[in-house]
């Protein structure tokens, strides 16, 4: 539903003053997020933290077993090569060395005293491998990262008086690759996002249903019902309480409509009798006219009460604003009290209820007739104009009276409020502007009142363009 925006006079333009209310400061705060997104972000943060903690724990737990397993595989290759070399003579050893050297991942070569090598220990993983190899192959085992400028994992071992180098492909010996970890983490994060969205939607669905039903109650539709069979006990209790409240409000609304109809009938019947008795029994013409005026005033007050308490169901259709303005202005024929000038283009159309919009203009014209008269001529001069701003049409009703005290302008739409002593002395129920605001809210519009800079009161009506 549209919200009312009643502001104090300012130098801002009309379109800026009637722009839909914005809340930029709240958008910067976490509390401004909807409950779905708050739940989603909190769940995603929780699950993402769990994923990263799991990855770190996995890496810590698999680090040493992977290093020991790699060292055992290398030690097995060395022991196989050592066993093959032990059972052969010198000539056959050369043949074995040549045949092993033809392999891609393993190379066997004699070790010379002049060989230059670089230590294998660089990081923690490699230190574990080197320690494990020395434990399994003997303390004199050499583990190098390069030999005579050739990179690789070189393991130096001895058989009797002969020494050899066994080269192993270093790519097969290492911790889990970064690409693998990134792939796992990406899949886990994707699952986290999807899971968080699903869980957040599931958690917030009852609250979304409750919010939608509450908005319908606010608009006067009391037939909203929430599920009372949900498995969550707290949500079930809330839904049951809401349904009971909706039923009670519907009953109150029905009783109110019946009561208002009865009051209207019961009050108008004695008023009609009073009018008839005054016409037949009172001889003084002045007294008769005063009594008739009082009866008309009472009848008008009853109409105001009925208009203010009218149910909030309206049907929005394209309406011709110029036609409605002319129709309502025609009802104010006494040019000694009010003169209405329309500047609305004939093609101006809005989405509204024809009767409701007519009632809005009627109350604004009546308000100008009562309180917007010029001090010089005693006539209320009213000008109706319009402006188009984006999807909205702004209809302005201006009188050229004395205006209203700026300190009291925010209270003009309060039921039974009158702005000053002059207004208090005037006749009326004090419901005219309250009826205008309520009717525009039912039609999805907005209402604003302000003093004109040149004098008089400005009433701005904002409605959707048709």
Strand partners, 462: 394, 446
The predicted structure's pLDDT at residue 421: 40
Q: What is the full DSSP assignment across 169-204?
A: -GGGSSS--HHHHHHHHHHHHHHHHHHHHHHHHHHH
Which residue is listed with tokens 């009073």?
Answer: 274
The predicted structure's pLDDT at residue 333: 83
Q: Which CATH architecture has domain 1-32+313-466?
A: 2-Layer Sandwich (3.30)
Confidence class for position 51, pLDDT limits 50, 70, 90: confident
According to CATH, what is the number of the domain 33-220? 3.30.450.300
Per residue in 419-462, pLDDT tens? Answer: 554 443 445 556 678 878 888 888 888 888 888 888 888 889 99
Q: β-pairing, 338-342 with 380-389?
A: parallel
Reported as half-sphere exposure (CB side, CA atoms, 13 A), residue 383 has a value of 11
Of 405, 459, 400, 457, nearest to 435 (Cα)? 459
Of 393, 391, 381, 433, nearest to 411 (Cα)? 433
According to CATH, what is the number of the domain 222-311? 1.10.287.130
Average pLDDT in the 381-395 region? 91
Confidence class for position 402, pLDDT limits 50, 70, 90: confident
Cα separation, 112 vs 107, whole angstroms: 15
With beta carbons less than 8 A apart as the criterion, state whether 149 and 135 touch.
Answer: no
Which of 1-15, 118-132, 281-295 is predicted with the least confidence, judged by mean pLDDT?
A: 1-15
The predicted structure's pLDDT at residue 313: 64
- pTM of whole model > 0.85? no
Cα separation, 287 vs 261, whole angstroms: 31
Which of 52-61, 204-213, 272-281, 424-433 is predicted with the least confidence, judged by mean pLDDT?
A: 424-433
Of 373, 390, 393, nearest to 382 (Cα)? 373
Per residue in 64-100, pLDDT tens? Answer: 777 777 787 788 888 877 777 776 766 677 777 777 6
With beta carbons less than 8 A apart as the criterion, state whether 4 and 441 touch.
Answer: yes
The predicted structure's pLDDT at residue 17: 46
Of 379, 384, 377, nearest to 329 (Cα)? 384
Cα separation, 274 vs 271, whole angstroms: 5
Average pLDDT in the 173-186 region? 71
Could you state, in order of their start, the residue ranges of all structural domains in the chain? Answer: 1-32+313-466, 33-220, 222-311
Per residue in 318-373, pLDDT tens? Answer: 999 999 999 888 888 888 889 999 999 988 899 988 888 888 898 888 888 888 88
């Amino acid at each position: 539903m549209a919200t009312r925006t009643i502001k104090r006079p300012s130098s801002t333009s009309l379109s800026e003053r009637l722009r839909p209310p914005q809340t930029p400061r709240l958008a910067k705060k976490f509390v401004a997020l909807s409950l779905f997104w708050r739940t989603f972000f909190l769940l995603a943060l929780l699950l993402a933290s769990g994923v990263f903690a799991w990855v770190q724990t996995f890496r810590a737990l698999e680090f040493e077993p992977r290093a020991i397993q790699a060292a055992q595989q290398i030690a097995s290759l060395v022991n196989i090569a050592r066993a093959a070399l032990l059972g052969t003579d010198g000539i056959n050893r050369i043949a074995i060395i040549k045949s092993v050297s033809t392999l891609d991942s393993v190379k066997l070569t004699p070790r010379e005293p002049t060989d230059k090598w670089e230590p294998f220990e660089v990081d923690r993983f490699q230190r574990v491998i080197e320690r494990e190899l020395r434990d399994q192959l003997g303390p004199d085992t050499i583990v190098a990262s390069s030999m005579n400028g050739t990179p690789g994992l070189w393991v130096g071992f001895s058989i009797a008086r002969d020494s050899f180098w066994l080269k192993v492909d270093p790519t097969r010996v290492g911790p889990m690759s970064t690409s693998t970890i990134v792939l796992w983490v990406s899949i886990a994060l994707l699952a986290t996002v999807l899971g968080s969205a699903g869980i957040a939607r599931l958690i917030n669905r009852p609250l979304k249903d409750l919010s939608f039903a509450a908005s319908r109650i606010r608009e006067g539709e009391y037939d909203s019902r929430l599920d009372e069979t949900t498995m969550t006990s707290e949500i079930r209790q809330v839904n049951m309480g809401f349904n009971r409240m909706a039923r009670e409000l519907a009953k109150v609304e029905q009783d109110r409509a019946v009561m208002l109809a009865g009051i209207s009938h019961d009050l108008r019947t004695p008023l009609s009798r009073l009018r008839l008795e005054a016409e037949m029994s009172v001889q003084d013409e002045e007294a008769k006219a005063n009594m008739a005026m009082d009866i008309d005033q009472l009848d008008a007050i009853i109409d105001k009460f009925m208009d203010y308490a009218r149910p909030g169901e309206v049907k929005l259709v394209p309406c011709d604003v110029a036609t409605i303005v002319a129709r309502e202005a025609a009802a104010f024929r006494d040019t000694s009290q009010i003169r209405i000038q329309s500047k609305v283009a004939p093609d101006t159309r809005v989405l509204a209820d024809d009767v409701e919009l007519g009632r809005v203009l009627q109350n604004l014209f009546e308000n100008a007739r009562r309180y917007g008269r010029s001090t010089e001529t005693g006539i209320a001069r009213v000008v109706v104009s319009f402006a188009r701003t984006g999807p909205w049409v702004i209809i302005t009703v201006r009188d050229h009276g004395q205006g209203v005290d700026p300190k009291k302008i925010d209270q003009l739409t309060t039921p039974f409020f009158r702005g000053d002593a002059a207004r208090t002395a005037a006749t009326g129920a004090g419901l005219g502007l309250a009826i205008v605001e309520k009717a525009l809210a039912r039609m999805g519009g907005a209402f604003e009142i302000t003093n004109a800079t040149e004098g008089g009161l400005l009433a701005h009506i904002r409605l959707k363009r048709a």
